[in-house]
Amino acid sequence: MSERSPVAASVVLGVAVGAFGMSFGVLCATAGLSTAKACALSLLVFTGASQFTAVTVLKSGGSPAAALGSALLLAARNGAYGLAVSPFIRGSRVKRLASAQLVIDESTAMATAQGSDAMKEHGFYAAGLAVFVFWNLGTLIGALGGQRIGRPESLGLDAAFPAGFLALLVPHVRTVSGRRAAVGGALIALALVPVAPAGVPILAAGLAALVGLRSHRPERVGEDAA
């Protein structure tokens, strides 16, 4: 991955995300939300899983507090992503405050799969902006078009995301400590999915990064990717 420009990969990811943006817009329409609110959610919240969760909880009769709680639990992982990308996002505090809105699964994964710090920063903005554009466009189209749009699942697009994240994981598991962290993260998620609320398995998986405390000679993840 590191030898290629992340722009093409980001656009591919963006298009897949756009299809889900459409289904989010449709969900909002069926839940009785105005097009303005659907678009405001995608523009201002801009973290897909949390948006789906909040609208679904409210649609099924849950309280605003329950919707906020479950959605924010899912959003908490973005805190870990902000930490992960902070070493290579350069610029003033104002630029960082603006860039923070782009801190999501896709931008973090695309960034950290690159080799050099400059390419990581490039990957962060390429994926973050591509996903932002397509996610918001998709939401608008879905909210306006309602149920006339088919389900993205029939095209297998729900599997496109884990497939993409797996591809972006590959450069991380080329080091010993990266492999340990990955196996640990996968096991934590597998153990918690059947018992914990949505959001907790991913958040808790971050604890596997603590294997980094044990390595006496720190290895830099990603730099050895050919």
Residues in binding contact with other proteins, number by CB under 8 A: 105
**Minimum CB separation from other proteins for residue 161, in Å?**
5
With CB under 8 A as the contact rule, the residue among 118, 146, 190, 224 that binds other proteins is 190
Closer residue to other proteins in complex, CB, 6/137? 6
Q: Which of residues 68-97 bind other proteins (CB under 8 A)?
A: 68, 71-72, 75-87, 89, 93, 96-97
Q: Report whether 153 contacts 33 (CB < 8 A).
A: no
With CB under 8 A as the contact rule, the residue among 30, 147, 193, 224 that binds other proteins is 193
Q: Which of residues 124-143 bind other proteins (CB under 8 A)?
A: none
**Minimum CB separation from other proteins for residue 23, in Å?**
12
Q: Which of residues 29-58 bind other proteins (CB under 8 A)?
A: 31, 33, 37, 40-41, 44-47, 50, 54-55, 58
**Minimum CB separation from other proteins for residue 118, in Å?**
16
**Minimum CB separation from other proteins for residue 156, in Å?**
3
Q: For the chain, what is the largest distance between any 2 Cα atoms, rounded to a whole number of angstroms?
A: 57
**Minimum CB separation from other proteins for residue 149, in Å?**
16
By CB under 8 A, tell whether 149 contacts other proteins. no
